[in-house]
Amino acid sequence: MVIQDLTSDRPLIGITMQIASSESGRRRFELSQTYLDAIDAAGGIGVPVPPIEANLDAWLAICDGWLLSGGNDPRMEPFGVTTHPEAKLVDPQRQAFEMALLGRLDACDSRPVLGVCLGAQFMALHAGGMIDQHLPDRLPTAPTHQDDRRHGIRLEHRPAWLEAAAEPSTFEVISNHHQGISDVGRLRIVGRAEDGVIEMLDDPDRDFYIGVQWHPERGGEGPLNLGLLRAFVLAGRRARNRPAGSPRRPEAQHRRH
């Protein structure tokens, strides 16, 4: 149990949850076990976090890092545009919770954040960016991003945790999304698919703040799958051990490119 591991060196990673409703109208929180298994394999302890905003302070006091999981599509009216008719909407309670979470994490930005699929889109929207709500409207290759198909990622910036590795510039990942990020706002584009779709973004001024459109928890071995999750968990360990009031990055020389 999580309570038994609060003094462990393994960082506690909060993982956001879906909200689903039964035919009778009963609501329940859900999270694929794949996320928990992947964080465990990467050296952390996954903690499912229900999207109840009143409890956010308590979860922020516990978790060393945050994984914003995948899910359905954002409601776009809060961002000044009409929601696309093909959108399958995420529950508004979850959307409100994760946007509030991102705002709170801006104030304690030594903690690592990894956004997966929907989570990456929330990060872009929070940063003043925008999403393409239905890639098939304009992109002939849109099906290559759906149904857990594998495709290549080409990096435009090499993350610090990859710099020491002799790896190729193109990597293989698994995706399942019909929407995409069209504008990353104040963040930085790190990688694109071979057809130009933005697949990875970050904030280089924070220790670890990365969003990816693919699903690293389902990708198996590889630098941008389990390797990415290991780097994320390692950042969680740094945050767990960092003294209060220390700089938001351990190195002062990091800057935007």
In a domain, 139, yes or no: yes
Phi-psi region of 80 (alpha: psi -120 to 50; beta: other; left: phi over 0): left
**Model pTM greater than 0.85?**
yes
In a domain, 247, yes or no: no
The pLDDT value recorded for residue 158 is: 85
Range list of β-strands (E), 93-169: 113-116, 130-132, 149-155
44 to 79, 120, 139, 210, 247: CA distances (angstroms): 34, 21, 38, 17, 23
Average model confidence (pLDDT) for the chain?
A: 87
User: What confidence tens digit (pLDDT) does each residue in 122-165 have?
Assistant: 999 999 999 999 877 886 776 777 767 888 889 998 888 775 55
Domain hosting 121: range is 2-241
The pLDDT value recorded for residue 4 is: 44
CB burial class (10 A; 0-12, 13-18, 19+) of residue 113?
buried
The pLDDT value recorded for residue 250 is: 47
CA distance 59 to 211: 21
User: What confidence tens digit (pLDDT) does each residue in 84-99 have?
Assistant: 999 999 999 999 999 9
Q: How many domains does the chain have?
A: 1
User: What confidence tens digit (pLDDT) does each residue in 194-240 have?
Assistant: 888 999 999 999 999 999 999 999 988 888 999 999 999 999 999 98
Closest CA to 119 of 12, 184, 212: 212
Structure tokens given for 180: 């995409």
User: What confidence tens digit (pLDDT) does each residue in 60-86 have?
Assistant: 999 999 999 999 999 999 999 999 999
The pLDDT value recorded for residue 67 is: 98
In a domain, 257, yes or no: no
Q: How confident is the model at residue 242 (pLDDT cuts 50, 70, 90)?
A: confident
Closest CA to 198 of 128, 147, 256, 145: 145
In a domain, 157, yes or no: yes
In a domain, 204, yes or no: yes
The pLDDT value recorded for residue 165 is: 53
**209-212 vs 198-202, strand pairing mode:** antiparallel
CATH of the domain at 55: 3.40.50.880
Residue 79, phi then psi, degrees to nearest 5: -110, 15
The pLDDT value recorded for residue 87 is: 93
Alpha helices in 118-166 (DSSP H): 118-126
Whether the Cβ atoms of residue 74 and residue 125 lie closer than 8 Å to each other: yes
The pLDDT value recorded for residue 257 is: 38
The pLDDT value recorded for residue 1 is: 42
CA distance 53 to 101: 8
CA distance 115 to 229: 11
Query: Average pLDDT for residues 102-130, to the nearest whole number?
Result: 95
Q: Answer whether residue 55 shows pLDDT above 80.
A: yes
In a domain, 224, yes or no: yes
